[in-house]
Amino acid sequence: MLILHWQYNLIMEFKMKKLYTIISTILIISSIYAGDVSRKGTTGADQLLIPVGARGIATGGAFLASLTGLESIYYNPAGLDLSKSTEVMFSYMNYVADINVSYFAASASLGEVGSFALSLKSLDFGEIPVTTADFPDGTGSTYSPSYITVALTYSKIITDRISVGTNIKLISERIMNTSATGFGFDAGVQYKFNERLSIGASIKNIGANMVYSGADLQGKTTIPGTDLGTVGGTYEIVSEEFQIPSYFELSASYNYNFNEQNNVLLGSTFVANNSLEDLLNLGAEYSFMNILFLRGGYNLLVSENISNESIFGFTAGAGVEYKIGEDIKASFDYAFREVKEFPTANHVFTVKLALQ
């Protein structure tokens, strides 16, 4: 018995060292890209900061340590392989300023190899009138910017307690004939202490700078004083490079079963932003028989200026999950997110199918 106890302690010590190594690496990498609030407004590609999935949004983004399956891709890709299923997910959000966000993702589990997923997020800005110096009220033409993020995700369960995952993202922005393209990298880890307590960590949007270029930044000069304006040459506006918004997250969640029918999941996530205020996200989820779910959350700014408030505050939502036959699960989720600086709130709808 003493030998078995010694072997168990040795194995657990080895597992904990692996976890500490992963988290330490994440902390070191994130500190390289760390910044402060004075850098606010210096990054671009802010569509990367728009969350997806009604469950994650309804719980305030607090379940970084416990989300699994396709819902976990945006928050912590380490949770993808934990579902061990093939899934398809579609989510739609009424964002702000008449902007809508669509998200589609699909995943497959390959057993011991791990799980892979492909996701696409796009923003719909509607039709915007074209204005010029000569026609400030509009030329009669319209345009619609195209903001698209495509991500390839890989996740694997390392031990019965540890899972890891990563996203590789292609970021594309186009406004008429001007565009910018970049790449981003996410990495995450989840560690399960026991059936109740879990922790998670992730780094998001580590990548090279982006820069705009295109025909709309080019033009022709004319020689003044001539009747027809003789062409004197060409010019190109040189746009400035910008960073993508990187940040680091550390999370914990606690799962409590009252009985076989009633369960409560509590979570919190600290977000260390590269060029914004840090955030503390709090969330809770009540489930009845794993069929009906009620959710709530709140986002708090961690700032020296106590008068600062997060634009996005209170969140809430609900969901249902049921079986279609023996092997297919379907779920429908809704989320509400308060927006303090705009007249309308965010409304999110998500549908997901899972093949067990």
Provide the CATH number for the domain around residue 6. 2.40.160
* Residuewise pLDDT in 10s, the chain (356 residues): 444 444 445 444 555 555 555 555 555 544 444 445 666 778 889 999 999 999 999 999 999 999 999 999 999 999 999 998 999 999 999 999 889 999 999 999 999 999 999 999 999 999 999 988 888 888 889 999 999 999 999 999 999 999 999 999 999 999 999 999 999 999 999 999 998 999 999 999 999 999 999 988 887 766 565 555 555 567 778 889 999 999 999 999 999 999 989 999 999 999 998 888 889 999 999 999 999 999 999 999 886 655 567 788 899 999 999 988 788 999 999 999 999 888 889 999 999 999 97
Cα–Cα distances (Å) from 118 to 88, 186, 229, in that order, read 10, 14, 53
Tally of domains in the chain: 1
Q: What residues make up the domain containing 171?
A: 2-355
pTM: 0.86
Strand-strand pairing, 213-214 and 100-109: unpaired
Letter string b/e over residues 40-56, b meaning 16 or more CB atoms within 10 A of that residue's CB: eeebbbebbebbbbbbb
Identify the helix (H) or strand (E) that includes residue 196. Answer: none
